[in-house]
Amino acid sequence: MILAYLLPLAIGILYLGMPLLVRHILPDYLPGLDALRIVLAGVFFLSLASGASQFLITINKQAKIIPFVVSGAVLTALLNYVFIKLGWGITGVALGSAIAYFLYSSSLVAYGLSYFHFRVGEMLGFFGRIVAPFLYSFGILVVLDLVLKGDSVSLGNDVLITCIKLVIFAILSIPLLWYINRQTKVVTMLLRQVGVMIPVLSHFLKRRKGK
Domain tally, the chain: 2
Phi, psi of 86 (to 5 degrees): -80, -5
Whether 49 contacts 104, CB under 8 Å:
yes
**Residue 211 covered by a domain:** yes
Looking at the structure, tell me whether residues 14 and 90 fall in a common domain: yes
pLDDT value at 101 more than 80: yes
Looking at the structure, tell me whether residues 55 and 147 fall in a common domain: yes
Looking at the structure, tell me whether residues 110 and 195 fall in a common domain: no
**Residue 24 covered by a domain:** yes
Which pairs from 74-77 meet CB under 8 Å and 24+ separation?
A: 75/99, 75/100, 75/103, 75/104, 76/100, 76/101
Give percent of the chain with pLDDT exceeding 70. 89
Whether 38 contacts 91, CB under 8 Å:
yes
Q: Give me the mean pLDDT over the 11-17 stretch.
A: 92
Q: Give me the mean pLDDT over the 94-113 stretch.
A: 92
Q: Which of 74-78, 166-170, 175-179, 193-197 has the lowest mean pLDDT?
A: 193-197
Looking at the structure, tell me whether residues 161 and 115 fall in a common domain: yes
User: What are the residues whose beta carbons fall under 8 Å from the beta carbon of 99, sequence distance 6 or more?
Assistant: 42, 75, 79
More confident of the two residues 198 and 70: 70
Phi, psi of 51 (to 5 degrees): -65, -45
Over residues 131-176, the pLDDT tens digits come to: 899 999 999 999 998 888 866 668 888 899 999 999 999 999 999 8
Phi, psi of 61 (to 5 degrees): -115, 30
**Residue 119 covered by a domain:** yes
Looking at the structure, tell me whether residues 134 and 194 fall in a common domain: no
Looking at the structure, tell me whether residues 124 and 202 fall in a common domain: no
**Residue 178 covered by a domain:** no
Alpha-carbon gap, residue 109 to 55, rounded angstroms? 10
Domain that holds residue 104: 2-172
Whether 13 contacts 166, CB under 8 Å:
yes
Looking at the structure, tell me whether residues 165 and 188 fall in a common domain: no
Looking at the structure, tell me whether residues 51 and 109 fall in a common domain: yes
State pTM to two decimals.
0.80
The predicted structure's pLDDT at residue 69: 92
